[in-house]
């Protein structure tokens, strides 16, 4: 029996390695998004600075893992077997849950996930204990105050960070404007002094306050001399920043990189418990059990030893730091999470990753009404002066950057200050929530959310915030059931759930790679969004249009054939797969239209007026083509799902024959578009007209059968529907190619 618990401890540490990697992938957004979004340095330089901060923060962490030892459960009431059951359930849930959020590119809180997993696992085992014995109640077994404080922290983090991000960025923009290089002769030294001092204060209060070298005397001296330290740092950094400015060193870049280092250090030093706290608690429990509890057995030895604090050996901390740095450099999912945050705060318009929701539209209308009311009561001279400070066409943004260095500096400095302030006031502010919401507040203040993008950005923000609450609920629920299964299932359930977790992680990685390859933004579109030359923009726009519409034709080719073949062979699974692909493609076409509208702005207005009609016609035909296949698939799916009578052999033969020719037409149109070769297009015109005539003949033949009361009326109606939609597919395919030919001509 003792061997199985040793295996569990070993597996907990194996899971900890994966947890460190997925945790860093998720939390990288906290300290990388501002530096990467503003391109404060090369990507490798930013990663190096963040990596150094992570390694130092992890290595000098004091390793106090109290929350995993007795923060949620009261260990003196739990036996060794029960504690190990809870800890294994937490790790199995955590590594899978965080990986799911990483795969979706959604930033969430590792602290929230761990706390609610502990709460869910503890609640499950506590219910079992209370049911088995009346000696203890739930209140004696669970510390609910911690969970409630985390929930309160979500609301506090969101509201406080967003408000102050918006306010401070607005003030900073009024001072520096978008053309900040003209406005920083002497103000830059003051700004740099305040920013660097705030970052140092943040590192002392949040990043290093619990480090291993910080003795009680050191902490007390820092708290007693806080004003002296802050004042001295302010004078020193102000003079230093002025000197750097005279030496033509970008003070904003220095601030951004210093802030990146500070947040990375604080993340590693304070959030390390989220990744290795549970395995270390398991190791401590196992060590205590082997030394003192073997006589009582795993079901009779209480874990009172977990009430005491634990110091983690330095080699665990160094190893954890090394794994975190490795994950930072190699994780592709970290880049996806960062991209979500950067795209939502991007200064200009571009490809929006989120759609539109009723709540977002309502918030936009309300905000517009509120802004209009404020504008009406504001004096005209004041309004004109404020608008002069927000001339976005003067923005100094690095090539390929999402926003400028002023906003990046505010993001990091303000996030650090708010986290430090919350820590000193013992408020449970989340690092993830603060950094994300500060970035959203500063982007709103910078007028990055224009009328054409606001609804999509707000939808994105609401989606991320909703994900935070889903994290808490999912962590609690999943861990509750996992702990219950482990308790009743014994050793068999341990191996089954471990195998299931490994399978889910591998499957997630495979699906993520496939999805990433499918959704990867084309190189042509990236070049188009960066282009400032109208002629080059038109060339790239034509190429992008051919690429996107060819993808639509490829979809039509595959799914029209899949739908018809599945219907004729009564393949329900194939029809469901086709319907799923159609729903996804509809969203892709919507996205293509939005991106195309933004990209068209890169073209000279005269050229855009001349060519836009053909571009939009092509997009409309693409949309109609996808919807026609959807209208064809829907009745086929319903017919087969309800086990209605199939088509007769003659109908199947006739329709299968014409289907092959329709698929060939789509294939030929796609090839012409991909090669930009529209010579002898009359061949496709004759083929399309011939197909429409053949389909009309099939329609007349079927109508005659109905008049003669031959066959089932239900079968005839679905047959007529698919004939009609096949005609539409032929029409829209050929028209799409013609529109693209005119756009490229």
**CA-closest candidate to residue 29, choices 86, 106, 116:** 106
The answer to whether residue 411 scores a pLDDT higher than 90 is no
* Mean pLDDT computed over 617-627: 90
For domain 525-744, give the fold: Methane Monooxygenase Hydroxylase; Chain G, domain 1 (1.20.58)
According to the model, what pLDDT value does residue 6 have? 84
Which strand (E) or helix (H) includes residue 23?
Answer: helix 2-38
Exposed (0-12), middle (13-18) or buried (19+): which is 141, by Cβ within 10 Å?
Answer: buried
State how far the alpha carbon of 384 is from the alpha carbons of 175, 204, 303, 375, 379, in Å.
15, 43, 68, 11, 9
Cβ(628)–Cβ(666) below 8 Å: no
According to the model, what pLDDT value does residue 350 have? 62
* Residue 687, CB-side half-sphere exposure with 13 Å CA sphere: 20
Cβ(120)–Cβ(147) below 8 Å: no
Q: How far apart are CA 679 and CA 663, in angstroms?
A: 21
Cβ(112)–Cβ(28) below 8 Å: no
Mean pLDDT check: name the lowest of 283-287, 415-419, 645-649: 415-419
Q: Structure pTM? A: 0.74
pLDDT digits (tens, 9 = 90+) for 655-691: 899 999 999 999 998 988 888 888 878 888 888 999 9
According to the model, what pLDDT value does residue 399 have? 74
According to the model, what pLDDT value does residue 63 have? 46
pLDDT digits (tens, 9 = 90+) for 204-222: 665 555 555 566 777 777 7
* Mean pLDDT computed over 361-372: 79
The answer to whether residue 355 scores a pLDDT higher than 90 is no
Which strand (E) or helix (H) includes residue 635?
Answer: helix 605-641
Q: How far apart are CA 302 and CA 544, in angstroms?
A: 66
Mean pLDDT check: name the lowest of 105-114, 261-270, 349-358: 349-358
Cβ(241)–Cβ(254) below 8 Å: yes
* Mean pLDDT computed over 235-248: 88
pLDDT tier at 553 (50, 70, 90 boundaries)? very high
Give 230-279 as a DSSP string: HHHHHHHHHHHHHHHHHTT--HHHHHHHHHHHHHHHHHHHHHTHHHHHHH
Cβ(433)–Cβ(216) below 8 Å: no
Question: Count of CB atoms within 10 A of residue 720's CB?
Answer: 16
Secondary structure letter of residue 645 according to DSSP: -
pLDDT tier at 198 (50, 70, 90 boundaries)? confident
The answer to whether residue 453 scores a pLDDT higher than 60 is yes
* Mean pLDDT computed over 141-158: 72
Q: How far apart are CA 644 and CA 549, in angstroms?
A: 36
* Mean pLDDT computed over 362-391: 80
The answer to whether residue 727 scores a pLDDT higher than 90 is yes
According to the model, what pLDDT value does residue 205 have? 64
pLDDT tier at 567 (50, 70, 90 boundaries)? very high
According to the model, what pLDDT value does residue 317 have? 79
Q: How far apart are CA 383 and CA 406, in angstroms?
A: 22
Name the E strands within 547-704.
none
According to the model, what pLDDT value does residue 390 have? 81
According to the model, what pLDDT value does residue 133 have? 72
pLDDT digits (tens, 9 = 90+) for 506-532: 887 777 666 665 555 556 666 666 666
Q: Which residues have C-beta within 8 Å of that of residue 112, sequence separation ≥ 6?
A: 150, 154, 430, 468, 471, 472, 475
Q: Report the C-alpha dihedral over residues 14, 15, 17, 21, rounded to 10 degrees.
A: 150
Cβ(150)–Cβ(469) below 8 Å: no
Per DSSP, what are the bridge partners of residue 79?
Answer: 302
Q: Which two tokens stand for residue 421?
A: 């302030």
Mean pLDDT check: name the lowest of 83-92, 398-407, 638-647, 655-664: 398-407
Q: How far apart are CA 739 and CA 131, in angstroms?
A: 71
Question: Count of CB atoms within 10 A of residue 645's CB?
Answer: 11
The mean predicted confidence, pLDDT, of the chain is: 81
The answer to whether residue 290 scores a pLDDT higher than 50 is yes
Reduce the DSSP state of residue 522 to 3 states and report it. Answer: coil
**CA-closest candidate to residue 119, choices 433, 473, 466, 432:** 473
* Mean pLDDT computed over 241-260: 87
Reduce the DSSP state of residue 61 to 3 states and report it. Answer: strand
According to the model, what pLDDT value does residue 395 have? 78
Per DSSP, what are the bridge partners of residue 86?
Answer: none
Query: Which of residues 668 and 305 earns the better pLDDT score?
Result: 668
Q: Which residues have C-beta within 8 Å of that of residue 2, sequence separation ≥ 6?
A: 290, 294, 298
Residues of the chain with CATH 1.20.58.220: 525-744
Query: Which of residues 150 and 615 earns the better pLDDT score?
Result: 615
pLDDT tier at 310 (50, 70, 90 boundaries)? low
């Amino acid at each position: 029996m003792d061997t199985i618990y040793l295996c569990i401890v070993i597996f907990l540490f194996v899971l900890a390695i994966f947890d460190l990697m997925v945790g860093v992938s998720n939390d990288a957004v906290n300290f990388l998004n501002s530096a990467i979004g503003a391109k404060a340095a090369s990507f490798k330089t930013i990663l190096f600075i963040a990596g150094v901060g992570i390694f130092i923060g992890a290595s000098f962490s004091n390793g106090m893992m109290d929350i995993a030892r007795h923060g949620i459960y009261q260990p003196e009431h739990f036996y060794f077997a029960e504690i190990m059951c809870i800890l294994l359930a937490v790790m199995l849930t955590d590594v899978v849950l965080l990986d799911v959020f990483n795969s979706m590119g959604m930033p969430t809180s590792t602290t929230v996930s761990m706390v609610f997993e502990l709460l869910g696992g503890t609640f499950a085992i506590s219910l079992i204990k209370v049911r088995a014995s009346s000696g203890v109640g739930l209140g004696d077994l669970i510390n609910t105050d911690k969970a409630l404080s985390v929930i309160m922290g979500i609301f506090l983090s969101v509201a406080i960070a967003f408000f102050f991000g918006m306010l401070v960025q607005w003030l900073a923009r009024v001072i520096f404007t978008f053309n900040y290089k003209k406005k920083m002769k002497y103000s830059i030294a003051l700004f740099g002094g305040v920013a660097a001092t705030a970052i140092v204060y943040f590192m002392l209060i949040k990043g290093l306050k619990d480090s291993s070298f910080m003795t009680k005397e050191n902490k007390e001296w820092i708290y007693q001399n806080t004003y002296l330290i802050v004042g001295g740092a302010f004078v020193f950094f102000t003079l230093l920043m002025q000197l750097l400015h005279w030496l033509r060193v970008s003070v904003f870049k220095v601030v951004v990189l210093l802030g990146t280092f500070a947040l990375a250090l604080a993340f590693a030093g304070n959030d390390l418990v989220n990744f290795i706290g549970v395995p270390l608690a398991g190791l401590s429990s196992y060590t205590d059990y082997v030394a003192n509890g073997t006589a009582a057995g795993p079901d009779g030895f209480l874990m009172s030893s977990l009430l005491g604090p634990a110091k983690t050996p330095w080699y665990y901390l160094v190893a954890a730091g090394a794994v975190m740095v490795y994950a930072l450099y190699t994780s592709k999912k970290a880049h996806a999470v960062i991209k979500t945050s950067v795209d939502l705060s991007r200064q200009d318009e571009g490809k929006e990753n989120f759609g539109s929701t009723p709540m977002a539209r309502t918030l936009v209308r309300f905000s517009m009404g509120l802004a209009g009311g404020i504008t009406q009561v504001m004096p005209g001279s004041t309004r004109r002066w404020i608008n002069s400070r927000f001339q976005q066409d003067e923005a100094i943004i690095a090539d390929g950057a999402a926003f400028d260095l002023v906003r990046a500096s505010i993001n990091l400095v303000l996030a650090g200050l708010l986290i430090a302030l919350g820590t000193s006031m013992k408020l449970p502010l989340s690092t993830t929530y603060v950094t994300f919401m500060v970035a959203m507040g500063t982007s709103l203040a910078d007028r990055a959310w224009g009328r054409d993008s606001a609804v999509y950005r707000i939808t994105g923000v609401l989606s991320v915030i909703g994900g935070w609450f889903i994290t808490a609920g999912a962590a609690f629920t999943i861990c509750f059931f996992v702990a219950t299964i482990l308790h009743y299932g014994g050793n068999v359930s341990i191996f089954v759930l471990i195998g299931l977790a490994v399978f889910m992680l591998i499957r997630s990685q495979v699906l993520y790679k496939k999805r990433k390859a499918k959704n990867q933004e084309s190189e042509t579109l990236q070049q188009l969004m960066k282009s400032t030359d109208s002629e080059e923009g038109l060339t790239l726009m034509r190429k992008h249009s051919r690429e996107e519409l060819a993808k639509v034709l490829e979809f039509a080719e595959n799914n029209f054939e899949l739908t018809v073949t599945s219907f004729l062979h009564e393949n329900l699974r194939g029809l469901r797969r086709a319907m799923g692909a159609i729903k996804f493609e509809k969203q892709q076409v919507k996205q293509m239209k939005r991106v195309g509208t933004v990209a068209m702005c890169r073209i000279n207005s005269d050229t855009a007026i001349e060519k836009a009609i053909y571009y939009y016609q092509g997009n409309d035909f693409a949309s109609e083509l996808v919807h026609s296949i959807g209208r064809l698939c829907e009745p086929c799916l319903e017919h087969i799902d309800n086990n209605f009578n199939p088509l007769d052999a003659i109908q199947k033969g006739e329709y299968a024959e014409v289907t092959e020719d329709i698929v060939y037409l789509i294939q030929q149109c796609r090839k012409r578009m991909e090669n930009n070769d529209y010579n002898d297009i009359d061949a496709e015109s004759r083929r399309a007209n011939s197909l429409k005539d053949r389909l009309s003949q099939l329609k007349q033949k079927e109508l005659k059968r109905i008049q003669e009361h031959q066959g089932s009326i239900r079968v005839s109606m679905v047959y007529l529907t698919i004939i009609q939609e096949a005609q539409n597919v032929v029409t829209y395919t050929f028209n799409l190619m013609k529109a693209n030919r005119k756009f490229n001509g």
